[in-house]
């Protein structure tokens, strides 16, 4: 009889704990979850993310300094979060700020608003700001469902602009004529203080995905 | 030091399929560099057991794991949106997620790794349900697109054949439904 009581109590306790943990993961309870240390599964703090990026850059960066550091219409390690938010507000671009105000993701961004050479609107632009002063250190664009011909033209325009500023890339593979997207194409610049990547490839059921990344690779900027 | 840890971790895995992996390939992939191993495997199109699958051309489990560890994880971590999901992986070379993902890819691309259920050296068991693994993350399509695009981009950079990259993308995309918005 006593054993049954303990079994019921233990079961009740486990059920209550499960309920509490579940409730803590509801959007409305996220601040409360942060107070108790956040979910241990895949929830890194802005500091941890910055540290991880610093480690990653060790294996990504090159050895010489970049002559210039193009990042569309922005300036790495200079443009502030407030400036980017102001830019977005002035153009009625919807953005979502998260991760302790270090990540701003904007949707459906006209290419000309970014001073991008892309030939289509950008689905998603992600801005990363340095934790200590909220200055831009990483800008990434992603556009899906692009027709191969248009993606190839965009790729050529974007990489042409980069080549004008930086010269020949460290590595590249450009779309051949009549490119259908199945052969991934990319261009890669690696400097001690700057990294730029542009790539395009067809994803199953998603059309061609075009991705651009411009980031500071300096120790200060990561 | 990192290479030694990788090798040690891999050698202590308990999945039975490991016995089938040749040590030469392991050394080539981990010590010699993933890109070289993957290119070498792609050149003759098969492993030393005559396996002509995509997995074999990618160097089997060790080639795939080394590729993930040395090229994909740093590139994913550098991405603003996908990066945070890989924070633990950059700190722990050849960690649980990479090992389980490498086994999954190896299996689905025709290799000998178990699909799921392998118990790793640290006791972690690779799970079968993508939905359960990603529950609570609310991962949208764009994040999955970024992840697959980065894998493809890195594979292209190290010289993996276009048709094999498409196969890898197909395998990864086949799990989209289990990953998206859980």
> What residue of A is the nearest CA neighbor of B170?
A204
Residues in chain A: 222
- CA atoms of A4 and B41, how far apart (whole Å): 61
When CB atoms are compared, the residue of B81, B156, B163 closest to A126 is: B81
Closest chain B CA to residue A122: B142
ipTM over 0.85: no
- With CB atoms and an 8 Å threshold, state whether A144 touches B142: yes
The partner residues of A212 in beta bridges, in order of sequence, read A141, A198
The residue whose two tokens read 């200060």 is A220
Within 8 A of A44 by CB-CB distance, chain B residues are 84, 87-88
**From residue B8, how far is each of A36, A85, B100 by CA, in Å?**
36, 48, 16
Name residues 51-70 of chain A within 8 A of B (Cβ). Answer: 52-53, 55-57, 59-60
Rg of chain B on CA atoms, in Å:
15
Asked if B146 lies within 8 A of A142 by C-beta distance, the reply is: yes
A105 contacts on B by Cβ (under 8 Å): 80-81
The tokens describing B33, both together, are: 């560099």
Distance, CA of A156 to chain centre: 22
Highest mean pLDDT (candidates A94-98, A178-182, B32-36): A94-98
- B123-146 pLDDT, tens per residue? 888 887 777 777 777 788 889 999
Q: How do the residues of chain A divide into helix, strand and coil, expressed in percent and rounded to 5?
A: 35, 30, 35
Smallest Cα distance from B28 to chain A, Å: 20
Residue B77 is nearest to which of A43, A53, A142, comparing CB atoms? A53
Residue of B nearest to A217 (CA): B78
Q: Model-level pTM?
A: 0.77
Over residues B45-100, the pLDDT tens digits come to 555 666 789 999 999 999 999 999 999 999 999 999 998 888 877 777 677 888 99
Residue A41 has a CB neighbour count (10 Å cut-off) of: 11
Inspect the interface and report whether the beta carbons of B153 and A186 lie closer than 8 Å.
yes
Nearest residue, CB atoms, B173 vs list A128, A188, A203: A203
CATH code of the domain occupying B2-179: 1.10.490.10
Q: Which two tokens stand for residue B54?
A: 């995509």
Q: Which chain B residues are within 8 Å of A48, Cβ to Cβ?
A: 87
B78·A204 Cβ contact <8 A: no
Contact yes or no for A209 and B73 at CB 8 A: no
In degrees, rounded to 5, the angle at the alpha carbon of residue A96 between the alpha carbons of residues A95 and A100 is: 135
Q: What is the mean pLDDT of residues B104-113?
A: 93
**pLDDT tens for residues A2-53?**
677 777 776 776 666 656 655 554 444 544 444 444 444 456 899 999 999 9
Q: Within 10 A of A14 (CB to CB), how many other CB atoms are there?
A: 10
């Amino acid at each position: 009889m006593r054993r049954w009581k303990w079994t019921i109590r233990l079961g009740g306790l486990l059920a209550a704990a499960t309920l509490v943990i579940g409730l803590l993961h509801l959007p409305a309870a996220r601040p409360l979850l942060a107070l108790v240390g956040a979910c241990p599964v895949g929830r890194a703090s802005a500091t941890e993310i910055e540290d991880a990026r610093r480690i990653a850059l060790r294996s990504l960066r090159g050895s010489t300094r970049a002559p210039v550091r193009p990042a569309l219409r922005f300036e790495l390690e200079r443009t502030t979060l407030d400036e980017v938010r102001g830019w977005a507000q002035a153009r009625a671009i919807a953005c979502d700020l998260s991760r302790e105000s270090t990540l701003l993701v904007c949707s459906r961004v006209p290419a000309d608003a970014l001073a991008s050479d892309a030939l289509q609107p950008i689905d998603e632009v992600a801005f990363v700001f340095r934790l200590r002063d909220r200055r831009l250190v990483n800008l990434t664009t992603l556009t899906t469902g692009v027709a191969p011909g248009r993606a190839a033209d965009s790729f050529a325009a974007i990489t042409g602009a980069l080549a004008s500023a930086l010269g020949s890339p460290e590595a590249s593979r450009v779309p051949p004529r009549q490119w259908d997207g199945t052969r991934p194409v990319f261009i890669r610049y690696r400097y001690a203080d700057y990294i730029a990547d542009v790539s395009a490839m067809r994803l199953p059921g998603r059309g061609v995905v075009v991705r651009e990344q411009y980031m500071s690779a300096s120790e200060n900027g990561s | 030091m990192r290479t030694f840890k990788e090798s040690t971790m891999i050698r202590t895995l308990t999945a039975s399929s490991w016995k089938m992996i040749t040590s030469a390939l392991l050394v080539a992939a981990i010590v010699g560099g993933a890109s070289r191993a993957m290119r070498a495997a792609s050149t003759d199109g098969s492993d030393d057991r005559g396996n002509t699958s995509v997995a074999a051309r990618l160097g089997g489990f060790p080639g795939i794991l080394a590729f993930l560890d040395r090229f994909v994880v740093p590139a994913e971590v550098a991405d603003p949106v996908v990066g945070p999901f890989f924070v633990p992986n950059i700190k722990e070379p050849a960690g649980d997620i990479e090992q389980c993902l490498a086994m999954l890819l190896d299996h689905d691309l025709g290799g000998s790794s178990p699909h799921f259920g392998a118990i790793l050296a640290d006791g972690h068991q690779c799970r079968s349900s993508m939905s359960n693994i990603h529950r609570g993350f609310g991962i949208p399509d764009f994040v999955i697109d970024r992840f697959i695009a980065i894998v493809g981009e890195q594979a292209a950079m190290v010289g993996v054949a276009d048709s094999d990259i498409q196969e890898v993308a197909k395998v990864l995309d086949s799990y989209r439904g289990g990953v998206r918005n859980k």
